[in-house]
């Protein structure tokens, strides 16, 4: 049985290092660049698989070199790609991200084939995904795709988790299918109009739906409706880059929920996984294991 099914995006990221993000009309001289496989869906699927979950992915790539690299990245992590389609017309998704010397970043995405997933076809074509214990969604796929996936997986008993990133208005039918909503501070503020984190997360939680608000080095807030809002602190580490940390958290959290962990325990695990992620460079991140996360939790 699949532990975690991910329906979402794949992007080939072009990473540029610079002293700071450019302002309007400014041309900066960067120090280096490299490419990496990304997209919130792909990142979260790979994270969950590397931390021990049995993962299957549903999405779309172009018939191009970027697509081949994205596909290979999933298979190298052990992700089932039987529901990964190739678009003969649209190119694979890509992004450009500028990383500052502080480790913070800004990015622009071009979705390409990710926006061509046919919502009216996936329910029948991706039947094996709906048998998962946890379905993990993000906002880089269309609302209709997310709704079709959530409805199909919920009917089979899956726990539906939505990482509402990037922030955009969420239709009530989709929200009604969500068991767990994950946002960062900016997304929470945009969705609720509230800048105070505790007020925002309380507004996002509904009966039958828990909410998590991530705050980087300030940890995270969890409102599951049963007790007072819980605060999970971040582990103190030296940050190299925060790019992709939210996706690693989501993948780690989904993996632990599928393994039977409680939501608060899964949050603690995800926070530890994210701390390891931000403190390592791209090459070392691929080597983070479940044992590494457990070791950090016991220190």
User: Averaged in consecutive runs of 10 residues, what is the pLDDT profile of the chain (299 residues)?
Assistant: 96 92 89 92 98 98 98 98 97 92 82 95 96 97 96 97 92 95 94 94 90 94 88 91 91 98 97 95 90 93
**Which CATH class, in words, describes the domain spanning 4-22+30-119+131-297?**
alpha beta
Taking alpha carbons only, the member of 192, 247, 238 closest to residue 214 is 247
Residue 122: predicted pLDDT: 97
Tell me, yes or no, if 247 is annotated catalytic. yes
* Separation CA 114–CA 91 (nearest Å): 9
- Burial of 135: CB neighbours in 10 Å, binned 0-12, 13-18, 19+: buried
Strands 93-99, 80-87: pairing is unpaired
What is the CA 274 to chain-centroid distance, rounded?
12
Residue 244: predicted pLDDT: 87
Q: Which of 247, 264, 282, 292 is catalytic?
A: 247
Residue 210: predicted pLDDT: 95
Positive/negative CA dihedral, 203, 169, 232, 252: positive
> What are φ and ψ of residue 207, in 5° steps?
-55, 125
Residue 148: predicted pLDDT: 98
pTM of the complete model? 0.92
Residue 145: predicted pLDDT: 97
Q: Answer yes or no: are the C-beta atoms of 9 and 42 closer than 8 Å.
A: yes
């Amino acid at each position: 049985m699949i532990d975690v099914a991910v329906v979402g995006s794949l992007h080939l990221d072009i990473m540029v290092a610079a002293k700071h993000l450019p302002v309007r009309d400014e041309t900066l001289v960067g120090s280096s660049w490299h490419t990496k496989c990304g997209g919130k869906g792909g990142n979260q699927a790979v994270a969950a698989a590397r931390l021990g979950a049995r993962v299957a992915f549903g999405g779309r790539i172009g018939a191009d070199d970027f697509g081949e690299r994205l596909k290979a990245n999933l298979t190298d992590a052990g992700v089932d790609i039987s529901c990964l389609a190739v678009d003969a017309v649209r190119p694979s998704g890509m992004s450009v991200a500028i990383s500052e010397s502080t480790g913070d970043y800004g990015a622009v995405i071009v979705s390409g084939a990710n926006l061509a997933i046919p919502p009216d076809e996936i329910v029948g074509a991706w039947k094996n995904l709906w048998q998962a214990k946890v379905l993990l969604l993000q906002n880089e796929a269309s609302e209709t795709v997310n709704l079709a996936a959530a409805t199909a997986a919920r009917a089979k008993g899956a726990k539906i988790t939505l990482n509402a990133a990037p922030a955009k208005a969420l239709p009530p039918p989709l929200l009604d299918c969500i068991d767990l909503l994950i946002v960062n501070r900016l997304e929470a503020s945009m969705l609720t109009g509230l800048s105070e984190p505790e007020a925002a997360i309380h507004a996002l939680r509904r009966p039958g739906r828990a909410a998590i608000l991530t705050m980087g080095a300030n940890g995270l807030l969890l409102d599951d409706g049963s007790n007072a809002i819980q605060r999970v602190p971040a582990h103190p580490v030296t940050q190299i880059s925060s790019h992709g940390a939210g996706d690693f958290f989501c993948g780690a959290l989904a993996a632990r929920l599928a393994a039977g962990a409680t939501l608060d325990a899964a949050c603690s695990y995800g926070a530890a996984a994210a701390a390891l992620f931000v403190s390592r460079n791209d090459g070392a991140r691929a080597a983070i294991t479940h044992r590494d996360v457990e070791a950090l939790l016991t220190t």
